[in-house]
Structure 1
């Protein structure tokens, strides 16, 4: 006689009310449940980004130290810094390639993490095969913007001592207003067609 037995309590873990309803709630539950996995992907991505970060940090420190150590005849140091920026640009090309590999692997892993259909290394490296060209295109457009910014920074420092023109304003106008929409269009083109 099953009607007299006590009914089992229904498990309410996966009811509609308990499921996340927006992206913030999905992030919050994933952050609680899969924190170790997120850290693994982050560490692997930082491993790819580390050479770029270290090299560019050293470059900025070198340029700022060069300007602060010279008190007179600042125009004598500009050929050295210009040469350093050119060498740094050439070295940054393979470093941006390496960082785009790392970021390209991480993006799809995080996307598949929300679907809970994830394996760590195989999905990471499968995404590199699938989306490498798109992320290379995006990162090289960012690379171009950074190079324009650094050369504008150099010319800003050079002409700042000769005139009272607001070169910070000019550099920001050049890099953010004119260059960013073109980079955005290039990225959208790459996302659509590559």
Structure 2
């Protein structure tokens, strides 16, 4: 396979890919196959970095290609093909990977009872987990949305966050810091938070 490496997507020959895309739009199957063969791997890695398993990442990449070919009038700027694909894959991967996280926080009080009674460490963990959920719910909508997006990935895509939440890219980091500070303060004000530390300090 003549696939380019994931880190070199930003340095590809945009003019060549633009020509291949235009030819593929005109019905050239060879041009279409060449694009897919060369860009599938780096796009797959974009999806994987969002936290998807290999199969889900492949599905996301396939979805991006389908959207590309189904675009009625094609891309206005063919030279922006790789950027369009990366953005589409990143956004779709974000949605897929973030769905499970959003489902967890959508019902923050859904705490399962300990399976075995009498395990104090487990009870402490449950209490602290519930405290985190209460603190999360106590934040404003903007902070909840931002923290949920950031928590979904080890390397959040600020371009996607900016577009999805309507925030300036440069404000995301500072806003995230302020939201984390507010969340931390809310937790410290909750008597059930830090119960494990208090218990170990007392030696009981």
Determine if the TM-score, normalized by the shorter chain, exceeds 0.5: no
TM-score by length of 2: 0.32
Between structures 1 and 2, the one with greater helix share: 1
Please say which structure displays the higher CA radius of gyration.
Answer: 1
